[in-house]
Amino acid sequence: MTTDPCDGCGREVRIAGGIGDFWNSDRSATGGMTLELADGTEHFLCSDCIDALPDDREVRAEDVATLEERSD
């Protein structure tokens, strides 16, 4: 199993597939994804942080920084 930290909350998030799952029969899904935001930045976010992003406008890096502040 491979993990990556969420850029929003810092929690380790499972990444499905890859060499870490080659010999493993566990087929659970990835817990997040990399998003390219309106300002051109890319951030890996867990599902909970993606749900917390604003949906009434284009998301920017400042919104991810707000997620980081909430998780402290």
Alpha carbon distance 47, 64 (integer Å): 13
pTM: 0.79
Q: Which pLDDT score, from 0 to 100, does residue 27 have?
A: 60
pLDDT digits (tens, 9 = 90+) for 38-50: 999 999 999 999 9
Q: Going along 1-72, which residue ranges are E strands? A: 2-5, 12-15, 32-36, 42-46
Give me the sign of the Cα torsion angle 58, 6, 16, 31: negative
Is pLDDT of 21 > 60? no
pLDDT interval class at 25 (50, 70, 90): low
Is pLDDT of 70 > 90? no
Q: Which pLDDT score, from 0 to 100, does residue 22 have?
A: 58
Please identify which residue in the block is written with the tokens 């998780």. 71
Residues 6+ apart with CB under 8 A from 26: 1
